[in-house]
Amino acid sequence: MDGVLNVLKPAGMTSFDVIARLRRIYGQKKIGHGGTLDPMAAGVLPVFLGRATRLIEYAPIHRKTYEAEFLMGLATDTEDVTGTVVETGEIPADPSIWESTAESFKGEILQRPSSYSAIKVNGERAYKLAREGNAVELPPRPVTIYDLILREVKPPLLRLSVTCSAGTYIRALGRDMGKMAGCPLTMSFLLRSEMGPFSIAEAKTLEEIEADPEGALMTDLRPLLSALPLLALDEKEAADFLLGKRLRTQEKPVEVAAAFCGPRFLGTASVERGVIHPKKVFN
């Protein structure tokens, strides 16, 4: 089967566990996902099957929204409650400090990823090196916090809603907010509620997918390819496109566009000097 799934990943499973389960459900190996979630995290996990795996690079999934909860007054080596406590501190008497702290993290910031992240260091995952007792210090990198809302300040719990760019670590955000506020934080809950065009309201559990594998697939790929210019082809043009033939067009030059015949996705193409050049054909 070819298509896309909006999977509701449960807490306690790795993203790879989800892929392994889906491979058994669909009986195929060619499955990939966008945006890894930590085992303790739940929420939206876009999964691409068959030829749709070739579209991951084009999917507009770089903007994400999370609902997160933190424990005040302690920090762990993993920056979440699965780790070992390495620091404790007093909870601020004035809860308004979290408002000003949250405000200071909005916009473009430099963030040092967690030492227990999946980033590779000399070919090894950072979390593997850290768990083996090696010192791991990852360099800061730019990320964008589009919005940061305080949902609730109820000591010892702090609840946030964060909309951010790809590459943002919510655990690390909590770590840095705690340092600024003078109160260590450790993440106790994380839910990804949105990722590009995927929302948790439309996500399906693994049990729902297993009950109706074909019905769970998103076969209309237009929302997924909304970041690309669209080429609308008629039936004759579509037949030629699927054969890899170049087509004359009045469309403006573009490096990558998504070609459709009605709702049917045909593939990606470039447009140069009035000619459509098929790139990835889905016949």
53-64 per-position pLDDT tens digit: 988 888 889 999
Return the active site residues: 38
pLDDT number for residue 80:
94
Q: Please say if the pLDDT value at position 7 is more than 80.
A: yes
DSSP symbol at 80:
B
For residue 152, list its beta bridge partners.
159
* CATH 3.30.2350.10 location in the chain: 3-61+197-216, 63-195
The domain 63-195 having CATH identifier 3.30.2350.10: the answer here is yes
Mean pLDDT in residue range 136-156:
93
What percent of the chain is modeled with pLDDT above 90?
76
At 84-123, the pLDDT tens digits run 999 999 999 999 999 999 999 999 999 998 877 777 777 7
Q: What is the pTM of this model?
A: 0.89
Q: What is the mean pLDDT of residues 129-152?
A: 87
Kindly tell me the sign of the dihedral angle through the C-alpha atoms of 71, 73, 78, 81.
Answer: negative
Provide CB contacts within 8 A for 212, sequence distance 6+.
Answer: none
- Going by pLDDT thresholds of 50, 70 and 90, the confidence category of residue 268 is very high
Task: Identify residue 37 by its one-letter amino acid code.
Answer: L
Would you give the distance in Å from CA 103 to the centre of its chain? 24
Q: Are strands 107-111 and 141-154 parallel, antiparallel or unpaired?
A: antiparallel
Assigned architecture for domain 230-281: Roll (2.30)
Residue 127 has pLDDT above 80, yes or no: no
pLDDT in tens, 211-249: 999 999 987 888 888 889 999 999 999 999 999 999 999
Tell me whether the omega of the peptide bond preceding residue 156 falls within 30 degrees of 0, making it cis: yes
Percent of the chain with pLDDT over 70: 100
Q: Which pLDDT value is given to residue 92?
A: 94
- pLDDT of 23 strictly over 80: yes
pLDDT of residue 58: 87
pLDDT digits (tens, 9 = 90+) for 25-57: 999 999 999 888 988 999 999 999 988 898 888
Q: What is the pLDDT of residue 27?
A: 94
In this prediction, residue 36 carries a pLDDT of 87
Distance CA 56, CA 14 (A): 19
Average per-residue pLDDT for the chain: 92
Q: In this predicted structure, what is the pLDDT of residue 137?
A: 78
Q: What is the CATH number of domain 3-61+197-216?
A: 3.30.2350.10
The tokens for 3 are 């298509």
